[in-house]
Amino acid sequence: MVMSRDVWPERAAFWQDKRVIVTGGAGFLGSFVVDKLQERGAAEIVVPRSAVYDLTQLDGIRQLLADTSQSGKAVDMIVHLAARVGGIGANRENPATFFYDNLVMGTHLMHESYLAGVAKFVAIGTVCAYPKFAPIPFREEDLWSGYPEETNAPYGLAKKMMLVQSQTYREQYGFNSIYLLPVNLYGPRDNFDLETGHVIPALIRKCLEATERGDGFISAWGDGSPTREFLYVADAAEGILLAAERLNVSEPVNLGSAYEISIKELMETIAQVTGFTGEIRWDTTKPNGQPRRKLDTSRAKELFGFVAERPFAEGLRETVAWYVGAVNSFQ
């Protein structure tokens, strides 16, 4: 195997005897985490499938941990990426489902991992945990200064409970768990469903299909004024594994790119990249979501040396190219 230029020998040495469970490892972010674990030479990578292990059920979690133990010894690490996720529309339609499924997955999995003797637990939170009107840029110490944006608050609060659990389990039991807060992700392999996908893949698909049909306009939610920060998925995976290697405290840590863009500018950029030349009509009857999102990423750099590398325009072009290729391969 050819080692990536990012995989220094000491990083590969860390993983060579590690057995790792990656929940959600077949998904968008998880697939990139698994790729990077393979690059680093992890001894064993387990990707549980929901058809076999339902992580919303306690029995499913216990069965997973039992099936992956060797001679009574649990895996060395769990990277918990599995989540019930979606855009604003999906969150509005399924608030109870998003709350319950994410809460019980995180709570039961961390607790059972502690009981089983898992050496380290990597919990992945969400930028949706931040208060709706948190000061810009979002700093980790502002996580508790207000209520999250209403359309995704149930999801954000459920994921934030893993932070409380991580801190209390470290304090009482000495359990080594960490908690990371990635900003909105984008990139190849994303969910391009118009109903459940996030903003970038949904807009890419809208523009491409409108161009193919010859439509004169497309509709976009809100008024375009909110801002967002986006992190390329491969950069996010790198940040997660750097934290898994180097971070051993339960204080929350942001993962972001420090690049902020308005939804209006994002829409215009995606239209340009996809070749859509029609009108963009803003549907102001639809919610804007959180007014601004931009993270302070200094803690990640300080604690484990993570800095995002992929320029946004380059990552966007790669995302469009991947989706076009995926569509063409099914035709």
Poorest-confidence range of 25-39, 247-261, 275-289?
275-289
By annotation, the residues acting in catalysis are: 155
pLDDT at 6: 52
Buried b / exposed e over 154-180, threshold 16 CB at 10 Å, is bbbbbbbbbbebbbebbeeeebbbbbb
CB 147 within 8 A of CB 132: yes
Buried b / exposed e over 67-93, threshold 16 CB at 10 Å, is ebeeeeebbbbbbbbbbbbbbbbbbee
pLDDT in tens, 281-304: 999 998 888 888 899 999 999 999
Q: Cβ-count burial of 133 within 10 angstroms (0-12 exposed, 13-18 middle, 19+ buried)?
A: middle
pLDDT in tens, 113-160: 999 999 999 999 999 999 999 999 999 999 999 999 998 899 999 999
Task: With a cut of 60, say whether residue 189 has pLDDT above it.
Answer: yes
Within a domain: 331: no
Task: With a cut of 50, say whether residue 29 has pLDDT above it.
Answer: yes
pLDDT at 331: 64
CB 290 within 8 A of CB 149: yes
Rounded Cα–Cα distance for residues 132 and 135 (Å): 9
CB 134 within 8 A of CB 294: no
Rounded Cα–Cα distance for residues 200 and 263 (Å): 10
Within a domain: 277: no
Within a domain: 273: no
Within a domain: 201: no
Rounded Cα–Cα distance for residues 211 and 218 (Å): 10
Within a domain: 45: yes
The mean pLDDT value for 311-319 works out to 96
* pTM to 2 decimal places: 0.92
The CATH number of whichever domain residue 58 belongs to comes to 3.40.50.720
CB 68 within 8 A of CB 112: no
Within a domain: 211: no
Sheet strands (E) in the chain = 19-23, 44-46, 77-80, 120-124, 177-182, 184-186, 217-221, 227-232, 253-255, 260-262, 279-283
pLDDT at 3: 40
pLDDT at 329: 80
Domain that holds residue 28: 9-190+230-260+291-310
Neighbours of 135 (CB within 10 A): 13
Within a domain: 278: no
According to DSSP, the residues that pair with 73 across neighbouring strands are: 70
pLDDT in tens, 63-96: 999 999 999 999 999 999 999 887 777 778 889 9
According to DSSP, the residues that pair with 124 across neighbouring strands are: 180
End-to-end CA distance of the chain: 33
Poorest-confidence range of 25-39, 80-94, 187-201?
80-94
Report how many domains make up the chain.
Answer: 1
Within a domain: 70: yes
